[in-house]
Structures are given as C-alpha cells and as structure tokens.
C-alpha cells in the first residue's frame, strides 16, 4: 500500500464527500463507503459491491484504506494480548486485548508517546512523537476485532494506552463518534471510557459535548506537592482546579466518573494519604479504582505496596462507605498492564 496516497480510513461521512466527488462519485457514495469501512469492516474497495466498478477501481488506484498493520503480538500467561501496530510513517503504537470474567476490553493508544512525563509511566519516557489521527485510533479496534474474531459490539474500550487522550482532543472525539455511530462501529457510549492525567480545561470542554465517553481521572496523589513530583501536569492544573473540572463534568453528564489511584509503595500509600483520599472521594460523585503499581524494574524507580496493604487501604475506604475497588492489572508479565506500554526503537 502506497503511504503517499491519501487515506480514506478515519474520515467522517462529511469528509469523505470531497475526495469521492473528485473521483466522479455521486453524493450518496460517501455514506456507502462509510458503512463499508466502519459498519461492515470491509477495507478492500473491490468488495464495495454497491458502488460502480469503475469508481471502485479509481478509489483503489488513487487512495489508501489503511487502519495500520499488526506487526507483533505478545501474549501473557493470563491471556492478555499486546499488539504492536505499525503506522504508515514508520511509527508504531501498542494496544491491548484483555478478557476478564468473560468481559472483553480493548485498551487503545491516542498518541505515539506522551508529552506529560508522569514519573511512574513507561510511555512518558518516550516523550511525544506525534498525535494519532482518527483512523489510526479506530484502526486499533478494527485490527483487534479481526485478529481476535470479535463480532458485534459486545466489548468495552478504554483510552488508557499510550498518550494523553485529551491532549489529542479533536482526533479522539472524532474516533469516539465513529465508534458510537449506529452506521459505524455501533458501540454504546457507556462502553467507552477515556482516562486523563488531569487536563482540566479539556475535561470542562468534554463536559460540553452532547454525547461523550465516560471519564476516568488519574489522581495518584492527595496533595499538590506530592502530585507535582509524580505528575508534572499538576504544576499547571493543581488538584483543586482539576477537581473543579471533574465536578463540572459530573454535573453536565449526570454520570459518576472514576478516580484512578496508582499505589506506589512508600510514596502515596500512607495512612495520611488514605485519609485525604477518603475526604476527596466523599466530596465527589466518583468511584475509586486502586491500581497497584505495575513494576518495570529496569526503567522506573517505584514498587507496588504489599498485597495485604493494598487490601487494607481498600477496606479502610469501604468502611467509610465509599465506592472503591482494586484493579488488579492483567498482562504485566509482557508489559501490557497500566503504565507499561512503550515502543522502544
């Protein structure tokens, strides 16, 4: 496939109209191509049988329909699959297929690398290489569906892979619309969760979307001093600014959002941390996911608390009547778990 050709994959109906009309297509062809690419997941123009044969040939000669390509697979003992997806310009990203209690979840990347530099996240060591476009984002879904034989819409999506989704706002929301369009991937918006490290203005912008994904906020600290050290974005949008944005989102959507708290042994897991965390949670319409840190011994200088301490923290918060659970990560043995995705050159 010639990477220099314009790519139709990732375009909306409206955006498809101009390139197709330039090839002599009638106006309704954009809707037909849209349904073939996203609704039926058929990416070969030769098989778009409700379009005239000469038009299909012109599309094949002058355009790409390119969602990316799986160039590597690594499977963990628990069945979690991490795939490396090659992009048209030689970059690559990682995405993950997980199954737990019969529920399938796809973890997607929104950027190649990440600019935010959270000190406990391996992706942050890459820096930001570039944003992904909408086709490169939904392409991860299409490729994993084909690779895993996933039919229909009975799976969940989390934007928790490489990158900060709200730093690539326009492309991520465009991908979200393709994923939830009844003539596209036809997923319920309630099956899609976006995780942010704390871009407060973008969370407020997300609150204004008439239909948007569920929100998870990566908190990971209970004081600004502590969060500044772990998550540099906090220096620009401190805790109270971030929490105000979360309240705005909750009021706008009527949804209970999620706080994520990565537990770092000896860093953010003291009794005082737990007490402050409980007070924050009590003031917000949110549930809490405790995530024991997924160690990368040769790259990141942190460790998870002992399992008994993780359970103790959960139980202390539950005793206060707060909605909290532990998210035991999957795929850590192959660096497919939370905070472990990175493409090393």
How is residue 199 written in tokens?
């871009």
How is residue 228 written in tokens?
């500044």
Confidence at residue 254, expressed as pLDDT on a 0 to 100 scale:
86
Low-confidence ranges of the chain (pLDDT < 50): none
pTM for this predicted structure:
0.96
Cα–Cα distance, 166 to 235 (Å, whole number): 17
Cα–Cα distance, 72 to 341 (Å, whole number): 14
Confidence at residue 106, expressed as pLDDT on a 0 to 100 scale:
98
Which amino acids are annotated catalytic?
94, 338
Cα–Cα distance, 221 to 79 (Å, whole number): 31
Confidence at residue 80, expressed as pLDDT on a 0 to 100 scale:
96
Q: Supply the mean pLDDT for the chain.
A: 96
Percent of the chain with pLDDT over 70: 100
Confidence at residue 345, expressed as pLDDT on a 0 to 100 scale:
55
Cα–Cα distance, 314 to 290 (Å, whole number): 8
Confidence at residue 16, expressed as pLDDT on a 0 to 100 scale:
97
DSSP string, 306-326: PHHHHHHHHHHHHTTT--EEE
Q: pLDDT tens, 288-322?
A: 999 999 999 889 999 999 999 999 999 999 999 99
Q: Which domains does the chain have, with CATH numbers?
A: 13-62 (1.10.150), 69-334 (3.20.20.70)
Distances from the Cα of 238 to the Cα of 208, 224, 232, 289, angstroms: 22, 6, 10, 21
Contact 155, 105 (CB under 8 A): yes
Confidence at residue 226, expressed as pLDDT on a 0 to 100 scale:
98
């Amino acid at each position: 496939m010639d990477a220099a050709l314009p790519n139709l994959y990732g375009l909306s109906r409206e955006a498809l109209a101009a390139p197709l009309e330039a090839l002599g297509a009638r106006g309704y062809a954009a809707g037909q191509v849209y349904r073939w690419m996203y609704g039926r997941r058929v990416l070969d123009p030769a098989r778009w049988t409700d379009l005239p044969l000469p038009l299909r040939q012109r599309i094949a000669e002058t355009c790409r329909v390119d969602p990316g390509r799986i160039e590597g697979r690594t499977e963990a003992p628990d069945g979690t699959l991490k795939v490396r997806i090659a992009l048209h310009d030689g970059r690559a990203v990682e995405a993950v297929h997980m199954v737990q209690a019969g529920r399938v979840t796809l973890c997607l990347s929104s950027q190649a690398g990440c600019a935010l530099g959270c000190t406990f996240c391996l992706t942050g060591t890459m820096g930001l290489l570039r944003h992904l476009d909408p086709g490169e984002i939904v392409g991860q879904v299409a490729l994993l569906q084909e690779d895993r034989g996933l039919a229909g819409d009975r799976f969940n999506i989390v934007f928790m892979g490489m990158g900060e989704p709200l730093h690539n706002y326009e492309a991520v929301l465009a991908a979200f619309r393709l994923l939830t369009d009844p003539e596209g991937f036809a997923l319920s918006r309630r099956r899609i969760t976006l995780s942010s490290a704390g871009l407060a203005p973008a969370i407020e912008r997300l609150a204004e979307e008439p239909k948007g994904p569920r929100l998870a906020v990566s908190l990971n600290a209970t004081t600004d001093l502590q969060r500044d050290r772990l998550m540099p974005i906090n220096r620009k949008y401190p805790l109270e600014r971030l929490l105000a944005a979360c309240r705005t989102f909750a009021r706008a959507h009527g949804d209970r959002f999620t706080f994520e708290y990565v537990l770092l042994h000896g860093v953010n897991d003291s009794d005082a941390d737990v007490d402050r965390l409980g007070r924050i949670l009590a003031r917000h319409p949110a549930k809490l996911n405790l995530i024991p840190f997924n160690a990368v011994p040769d790259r990141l200088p942190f460790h998870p608390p002992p399992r008994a301490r993780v359970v103790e923290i959960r139980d202390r918060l539950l005793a206060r009547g707060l909605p909290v659970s532990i998210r035991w990560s999957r795929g850590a043995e192959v660096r497919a778990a939370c905070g472990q995705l990175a493409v090393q050159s």
